[in-house]
Amino acid sequence: MSKTRIIALFNQSGGVGKTSLTMNLGYHLAQKKKNRVLLIDLDPQASLTTFMGLEPDITAKTVYEAVVGEEALPIHPELIHSMSLVPANINLSAAELELVAALMREMRLKNALAPVLDSYDFILIDCPPSLGILSVISLVAATHVLVPIQCQFKSL
């Protein structure tokens, strides 16, 4: 079994710090012991992609092609702040609908990650603020789940 830790940062509520924590946790893990870190932007709003300094590009491949088209994971060719990134864009929102009828859909992200497990010590998945299929496939792929919450009634 692979030693790679796959952490889904998940909460159906928005604005609780999932994306900020994905990037900052990834950064500190990458500084420590030269961990190899991959961040996956699974939110069609592409906040993580933007926070990492990339312009969300609607012509670029995202995790959409990997989970819907079962293509190789489109990892950005350069390291950003010592981390690898699979960027997102708005096209990813179509995955919610297109995966509804897909065969073995729950396994799609887990399967997409399998070929790159040996290349990373940590894979952090920035989930969208919903309980849709994108969140479900990330929970299936994950070995750990991190749920950031704000100390307010509505955030819970």
Ligand X SMILES: Nc1ncnc2c1ncn2[C@@H]1O[C@H](COP(=O)(O)OP(=O)(O)O)[C@@H](O)[C@H]1O
Residues that bind ligand X (CB under 6 A): 14-20, 47, 129
Q: Contacts with Mg ion: how many residues (CB under 5 A)?
A: 3
Closest CB to ligand X among residues 2, 24: 24
Strands of 122-126's sheet in order across: 84-86, 37-41, 122-126, 5-9, 144-146
Which window, 39-47, 68-76, 94-102, 147-155, contacts Mg ion (CB under 5 A)? Answer: 39-47
**Going by DSSP bridges, is the β-strand pair 5-9/122-126 parallel, antiparallel, or unpaired?**
parallel
Residue nearest to Mg ion (CB): 19
CB 109 within 8 A of CB 141: yes
What is the DSSP code (8-state) at residue 80?
B
Taking CB under 5 A as the criterion, the residue among 7, 18, 46, 73 binding Mg ion is 18
Q: Establish if 89 lies at the interface with Mg ion (CB under 5 A).
A: no
Q: Using CB distances below 5 to 8 A depending on partner kind, what does residue 29 bind out of Mg ion, ligand X, none? A: none
Minimal distance, residue 101 CB to Mg ion, in Å = 27
H or E segment and range at residue 84: strand 84-86
Alpha-carbon distance 74 to 91, whole Å? 14
Q: Establish if 47 lies at the interface with Mg ion (CB under 5 A).
A: yes
Which window, 11-19, 30-38, 78-86, 90-98, contacts Mg ion (CB under 5 A)? Answer: 11-19
Q: Using CB distances below 5 to 8 A depending on partner kind, what does residue 15 bind out of ligand X, Mg ion, none? A: ligand X
Alpha-carbon distance 156 to 148, whole Å? 10
Tokens representing 136? 């479900």
Q: Using CB distances below 5 to 8 A depending on partner kind, what does residue 115 bind out of ligand X, Mg ion, none? A: none
H or E segment and range at residue 9: strand 5-9
Minimal distance, residue 69 CB to ligand X, in Å = 26
H or E segment and range at residue 145: strand 144-146
* Residues contributing to the site for Mg ion (CB under 5 A): 18-19, 47
